[in-house]
Amino acid sequence: MRESKKPTEGAVLHGDAGKQNKKQRMLRVSEVQFRDLAEKSLVGIYLIQDGFFKLVNPRFAQIFGYKVDEISGKKKPGELVHPEDRSMVAENIRKRISGEADSFHYEFRGLTKDGETINVEVYGSRTSSQRRPALIGTLLDVTRRKHARETLKQAEEKYRSIFENAVEGMFQTTRQGQFIVANPALAKMLGYVTPDEFVAALSDIGQQLYVEPARRSEFLEIQERVGSVIGFECELYKKNGSKILVLINSRAVRDAHGVTQYYEGSVVDITEQRKAAEALNRLNEFNKVIIDNAPVAIFTLDKHGVFTSVNPALASLSDLGPRAEEKLIGFNWLTNPYTIKCGLAGYIKRGLEGEAFQLWDFPFVSYRGDRNIYMDFKGVPLRGRNGNIEGLLCIIEETTDRVRTRAKLMQEAKMAAIGRLAAGIAHELNNPLATLVAYAELASQAIEPLEDDQEKQPSVEELRNYLGIVEEQAFRCKNVITDILSLPRKDGLEPTVVDVNRLLDSVIELANIEKSNITIAREFNTVLPHVKGDISALRQVFVNLISNGIDAVEGTLDPILWIRTRIEGHQVGIEIEDNGVGIPDSIVDKIFEPFYTTKESKKGIGLGLSLCSELIDGMGGTIRVESKPRYGTTFIVTLPIDDTGQRGGD
């Protein structure tokens, strides 16, 4: 037998060395592969030992904005952690290195080289390097992912809040007619306390909720055919059995194959809105009936002066007949030559600029220009919600008959006044003229005996008395003529500044009232402003009023005249009051008429107060009377205050 040969010791050593070299070559290949993997990895890789980052890959350094050599062996973990998270990260590292935990997975906030905060997710486990404990792991930048997650969460919370707090009902329903979800507004709208109660109570929407189940079928048919329903009106039952009118907007939610999964949408209760709309329609119809049947013309113009609406009454006013609306709508009234010629176009333009106006008895010509009319015209600017002028509301009432009637009455009143004037003149002149004739005859008869019988000569006193009466009556006729000539005079006044207190003092002094045993009580405002008026005319007015007062207290026990002055706003007031017999209520309104008097014929012919009224009116003032029989009469005169600051005369 052959003797087996044993390997020599050198051969064995040579073989072991070969195996060792092979392992080293394989290890180097693995290291190269691992390093290549770490260098190209999309996640950060790190090794922590002795409180420092011993190794980090490029991705790790890139996440924090550093280069590898700025971190490896130089940075501590806490330097890359947000201050608020450093204690947590340090505790986790300690537990892993100490062996209290083998691995970990958590998120923390990191700090980049620029100081920016990022969110990172870290995985790590305990290891050893060079026979010392270490921590190895990976790190991901999850800033965008976390931001997206938070954004999604916020959006979900936002839409949940919208769903829960919406004022309109919101829902999701199955095709079979069950509610998947409903918001509180829908539950409350239909009389339920909570959405859960509402959803649980209804198992068949068409039969239980719809007043007309056929409307549910229409709703579903539109949903499937169009994919959505907008403005679907129907009546629904509330929990208590009452009905409401709702408006539904909905869409069909379908899968990738176009199969409807469910319906979702909103519900609005329009019951009150519909009632309000119907009430408004009724009101509009009522207003239309009123406008169409109004006896006055009512129409509107747009901001350019073009007719936009007219009522039937305008047809008769414009003489256009039943086709008035057809002819006027679209017609620009501002371009009508008759509107321009009479000046109405100017008022309409001002109305369209925002100035309301009112015209009384305005002369106009009919639409065709063949009839002169008078009208009351009111223009009211129409403003939109933004306050801008959008048009003009016009109301016209024809007053042609009224104007003609008033003119006729005025003419009749004028003729009646002339008749009364003529009768008064005839009466007032006839009496003194008859007296003149009689006493002239007596004077002639008294002179006749002088020719024959010297013993029968009349006394000089008798003859003087006859001639005095003749003179008195002659002057009376002269005064009648003077007053008549003064009555119609409305011009010729010479306005000046007048001190009323001084003027009254001079009139009282000239009247020589003290000799008549009448008490004069002056109650003058000592700071009375001056007035604007004709001093001669005012003197005549005050003389007449004081003379009337003197005549009124004749025969009265303790006769008194009160003369007062005061300020009444922008006017001066003058009162002349007596404690005479007063004026009966039945005639107090007539005392300013010409030739109306309550005195004896010897004391006046009734032109004094009429003349006073004319004079005061011509000076822009007023005169009125207050009287109570047996207690006295007060005449009140007001005159405008002078604002020129000139010195007044008396």
Q: Are 619 and 532 in contact (CB under 8 A)?
A: yes
The pLDDT score that the predictor gives to residue 132 is 87
Residues 213-224 pLDDT 10s: 999 999 999 999
| 220 φ/ψ angles, rounded to the nearest 5 degrees | -65, -40
Helix (H) or strand (E) holding 12: helix 9-40
Q: Which residues pair with 44 in a beta bridge?
A: 139
The pLDDT score that the predictor gives to residue 427 is 62
The pLDDT score that the predictor gives to residue 449 is 64
| Integer angstrom CA distances of residue 12 from 20, 241, 243, 252, 633 | 12, 104, 105, 83, 163
Residues 60-107 pLDDT 10s: 999 999 999 999 999 999 999 999 999 999 999 888 888 887 778 899
What secondary structure does DSSP assign to 160-214, as a single string? HHHHHH-SSEEEEE-TTS-EEEE-HHHHHHTT-SSHHHHHHH-S-HHHHTBSSHH
Q: Are 209 and 236 in contact (CB under 8 A)?
A: yes
Stronger pLDDT, 172 or 5, i.e. the higher one: 172
Instruction: Identify residue 594 by its one-letter amino acid code.
Output: P
| Integer angstrom CA distances of residue 187 from 176, 178, 207 | 20, 14, 18
Place of tokens 């092979």: 22
Helix (H) or strand (E) holding 74: none
What secondary structure does DSSP assign to 327-365, as a single string? HHTT-BGGG-HHHHHTTHHHHHHHHHTT--EEEEEEEEE
User: In which order are the strands placed within the sheet that holds 103-111?
Assistant: 52-56, 44-49, 132-141, 117-129, 103-111
Characterize the bridge pairing of strands 169-173 and 260-269.
Answer: antiparallel
Residue 61 CB-density burial (10 A; 0-12 exposed, 13-18 middle, 19+ buried):
buried
Instruction: Compute the average pLDDT of residues 506-516.
Output: 69
Q: Are 500 and 534 in contact (CB under 8 A)?
A: no
Rounded to two decimals, the pTM is 0.40
The confidence band for 128, taking pLDDT boundaries of 50, 70 and 90, is confident
Q: Are 637 and 621 in contact (CB under 8 A)?
A: yes
Q: How many CB atoms lie within 10 A of CB 576?
A: 21
Query: Whole-angstrom Cα distance, residue 347 to residue 95?
Result: 96
| Integer angstrom CA distances of residue 519 from 209, 504, 577 | 98, 15, 12
Q: Which two tokens stand for residue 519?
A: 């008490």
Query: Whole-angstrom Cα distance, residue 185 to residue 199?
Result: 13
What secondary structure does DSSP assign to 381-416, as a single string? EEE-TTS-EEEEEEEEEE-HHHHHHHHHHHHHHHHH
Q: Which two tokens stand for residue 466?
A: 């006859």
Residue 300 has pLDDT above 50, yes or no: yes
Instruction: Using alpha carbons, select from 56, 102, 104, 101 the residue that is nearest to residue 79.
Output: 56
Q: How many CB atoms lie within 10 A of CB 2?
A: 4
Q: How many CB atoms lie within 10 A of CB 516?
A: 11
Instruction: Compute the average pLDDT of residues 114-137.
Output: 89
| 276 φ/ψ angles, rounded to the nearest 5 degrees | -65, -40
Instruction: Using alpha carbons, select from 263, 77, 60 the residue that is nearest to residue 172.
Output: 263
Residues 316-347 pLDDT 10s: 777 777 777 888 889 898 888 878 888 889 99
Residue 380's contacts (CB-CB under 8 Å, 6 or more residues apart) are: 351, 356, 392, 393, 394, 395
Residue 361's contacts (CB-CB under 8 Å, 6 or more residues apart) are: 374, 375, 376, 399, 402, 403
Percent with pLDDT over 90 in the chain = 38
Domains detected in the chain = 30-147 (3.30.450.20), 166-274 (3.30.450.20), 295-398 (3.30.450.20), 405-486 (1.10.287), 496-640 (3.30.565.10)
Q: Which two tokens stand for residue 205?
A: 């929407």
The confidence band for 494, taking pLDDT boundaries of 50, 70 and 90, is confident
Residues 552-581 pLDDT 10s: 888 788 888 999 999 998 899 999 999 888
Residues 368-421 pLDDT 10s: 656 788 889 999 999 988 989 999 999 999 888 888 888 888 777 667 666 666
Q: Which of 294-298, 435-439, 509-513 has the lowest mean pLDDT?
A: 509-513
Stronger pLDDT, 450 or 490, i.e. the higher one: 450
The pLDDT score that the predictor gives to residue 240 is 94
Task: Look over the chain and give the mean of its residue pLDDT values, rounded to a whole number.
Answer: 82
